[in-house]
Chains A and B, each alone.
Chain A
């Protein structure tokens, strides 16, 4: 017994001294891992997490996705086709060289041709016609056509150092040789599948960071990540499963950081085609006419959904009921559009008016490994529709990698999908999800149901061509209002996202779902 006590004391002492020695270090347990260190290789979230820590962009977003200056301090358009961008003075790369206009021009040119990049920044620089150095810190851009959101496009491309990145291969970035940025942390090493190490950049132009060294461990399994936090192996974790939030809050010494994200979970309806593969009559025979084409039917389906019930019972409260694309706080949100309330009586009335008094048959498709509760939410929707008099022929859940192909190929009638909005306004999301598919105009790339609403397309074109920022937002709100009255998709909810860490830490829970040491600090 005595020896046991000794042992415990010894363990406690070790833990304590370890804690003291690492006071200025941070270990993060992250669910996702980058695929490369080259910040321009992919703009998917997992790569952005690391890119943001080591590199900077001309502008950045705060926790609520508002745009703020970063490497650029000011910008103005002298005429609709010309922009002048002033760079921040005194910014140094990690190797000591100063940031110049040449580096920015090089980076924006490079973004177009990263070999084999699966998610390049080429769209961000597509509007550029020409670039000219005015002086060391000023650049003049000419655009191909008037582009009011020009800074929102080029502003989010990571800036690399010309001297280092010119001719550098992806391996040079991964090894650290070319991973020279201006960001808050310097890149030390990356062991794929295991961890990534960063060290503080003392010459950083922005806020001085609290941690000398940062280790990011990649722990993809949810339970293991939570266990790693509880055992003290890591100080901070991301993507806390909603079901574990309460447990962690109950543990002394741990803290949860939450925010509603701008990731919308929605039910897409096959509303554009005359016949839909998974819509049947009550006996299971295919229907001649597609009921989903009727806005009354779509509204009825939306009214049959009790969003709050789904949020409370399935998602442990980790969501906010949605009635449009982006949540309150993101520019383009129209506060007057509320989430559609559960109203079975009205839904039945609408179905009867549309000529489906006895309902019809429908199958709901969903992924089962994409976001928390995706399969369960689909089952709940099935039950809610059945309660409203529809005949639910089935709820089909598939792994995401199989599911996406079917969803994009138009094989489903009603299917659940998500869309994360990471741009400062709702314009990009609206354009990709709801505008008519038009390859040349670059619209509707995420519009899987081929929904088309010419009046809305027109409204969006007017809005995105508006140079006055305030007016542009108003026009976006108007377009949003117009399109959601037509129920192009059924918005369900915005996910809440959670981080958890030791009580002596702070973390800025952010809507873009970024996990980066830059947002962490020690509690004062």
Chain B
């Protein structure tokens, strides 16, 4: 385990370094931030002043090494637009996205796994057909359109749920979240559903496939022969076996939901990091884009690490750190 952790850590550093180079050069190649930031009626003297103050007059290599030097000292740069440390902009908005993602994932799992089990246990039944057909919608309808439809139906026509922004925040055990107030929860429902629909379909299908694959295996027959109840067979023995692919996919999906909930956050005006990223790219706020991607890469590294550890817990055959 210790060896595994150390090796992982070294790999992570390398990945971060490579990402930093690629992202920095990539964003440098797009456009000119000065064009985006400076007021159109600025005088040439003002332009020069702004360009110098943002360090944009320096050559690429110098900008890059300044960035690396500062990054090694824990400073990922200041946003051109907000003139605040980019890292604090990101962490200021991370909770909103985290909240949305976790609730979305919760919905996907709590509804998806039972539906998948139901389909998998009674393949080709009417229930299975309905669930499978339903999941096609979740897959194939674009997230953007789903979001607009949710707003049209539940906000504009029925007027039941709010469609924009984050609701009132509550405090519980020192954590600030809109999960703790009624207003906050109602604001959360639509975006969370929007974000979860695709994952929901994915979970249903993964679970169904897993069940279908596992049910005919010898150990299930053996368990039946032993006289175990069907309930115990499904919920303990079969379930454990279908968890491995689920954990892998959920792990990756959690990362991508966190990083790229952009569409949902834009439609529902949710103040999360996805929206920050897209705004920053549009405005060529380079420090924020670079810092954001580095944070996200770290996040993915962490999630993958957790997934690997979870494997070894769920499946005793998996041993960490023995790959070499």
Chain A residues within CB distance 8 Å of chain B: 11, 15, 29, 35-36, 41-44, 115-120, 122-123, 126, 170-171, 174, 191-195, 217-221, 223-224, 227-228, 230-234, 369, 399-405, 408, 419-420, 422-423, 428-429, 432, 437, 439, 442, 444-446
- Among residues 160 to 178 in chain B, which have CB atoms less than 8 Å away from a CB atom of chain A? 160, 162-166
Contact code string B38-56 (vs A, CB < 8 Å = 1, else 0): 1111111111011001100
Return the chain B residue nearest A422 by Cβ: B41
Known: A44-B39, A400-B282. 15 other contacts (CB 8 A): A36-B83, A116-B83, A117-B83, A119-B38, A123-B42, A220-B279, A227-B148, A227-B152, A227-B156, A231-B156, A231-B159, A402-B31, A404-B31, A408-B35, A442-B43
- Contact present for A118 and B40 (CB under 8 Å): no
- Whether the Cβ atoms of A123 and B50 lie closer than 8 Å is no
When distances are taken between beta carbons in the complex, the residues of chain B under 8 Å from A219 are 164-165, 269
Q: Bound complex: CA of A191 vs CA of B95, how far in Å?
A: 13
Q: Are the C-beta atoms of A401 and B30 separated by less than 8 Å?
A: yes
B162 touches A233 (CB 8 A): yes
Complex contact A445–B44 (CB within 8 A): yes
B32 near A405: Cβ-Cβ < 8 Å: yes
Mark B residues whose CB is within 8 Å of A.
30-32, 35-47, 49-50, 53-54, 78, 80-84, 89, 92-93, 96, 148, 151-152, 155-156, 158-160, 162-166, 266-272, 275-276, 279, 281-284
B43 x A126 contact (CB < 8 A): yes
- Do residues B164 and A233 form an inter-chain contact, with CB atoms below 8 A? yes
B49 contacts across to A, CB distance below 8 A: 120, 122
Roughly how many angstroms separate A36 CA and B80 CA in the complex, as a whole number? Answer: 11
Chain B proximity of A11: nearest CB distance (Å): 6
Q: For the complex, give the distance between the alpha carbons of A507 and B266 in Å.
A: 26
**Contact between A116 and B78, CB atoms less than 8 A apart:** yes
Nearest-neighbour CB distance to chain A for B224, whole angstroms, equals 46
Cα separation A41 to B78 with both chains bound (whole Å)? 15
Q: Could you jot down 18 A-B contacts, CB within 8 Å?
A: A117-B83, A119-B42, A120-B50, A122-B46, A126-B43, A193-B93, A218-B269, A227-B155, A228-B155, A231-B159, A399-B282, A401-B31, A405-B32, A408-B35, A432-B40, A437-B44, A442-B43, A445-B42
The verdict on A192 contacting B92 (CB below 8 Å), with A116-B83, A224-B164, A401-B281 known, is yes
With A122-B49, A442-B44 already in contact, the answer to whether A116 and B31 are too (CB < 8 A) is no
In the assembled complex, how far is the CB of residue B229 from the closest CB belonging to chain A, in whole angstroms? 39
Question: Given the complex, which residues of A lie within 8 Å of B46, measured CB to CB?
Answer: 119-120, 122-123
> In the complex, which of the residues B152, B267, B276, B284 contacts A401, with contact meaning CB atoms closer than 8 Å?
B284
List, in ascending order, chain A residues with CB within 8 A of B275's CB. 193, 220
Q: Are A220 and B45 in contact (CB under 8 A)?
A: no
**Contact present for B148 and A223 (CB under 8 Å):** yes
Which residues of A sit under 8 angstroms from B162, Cβ to Cβ?
A: 231, 233
Q: Quick one: which of A116, A126, A219, A404 has the most chain B CB within 10 A?
A: A116
Q: Are B148 and A35 in contact, CB atoms less than 8 angstroms apart? A: no
Across the two chains, which residue of chain B brings its CB closest to A38?
B83
Give the Cβ gap from B266 to chain A, nearest Cβ, in Å.
Answer: 5
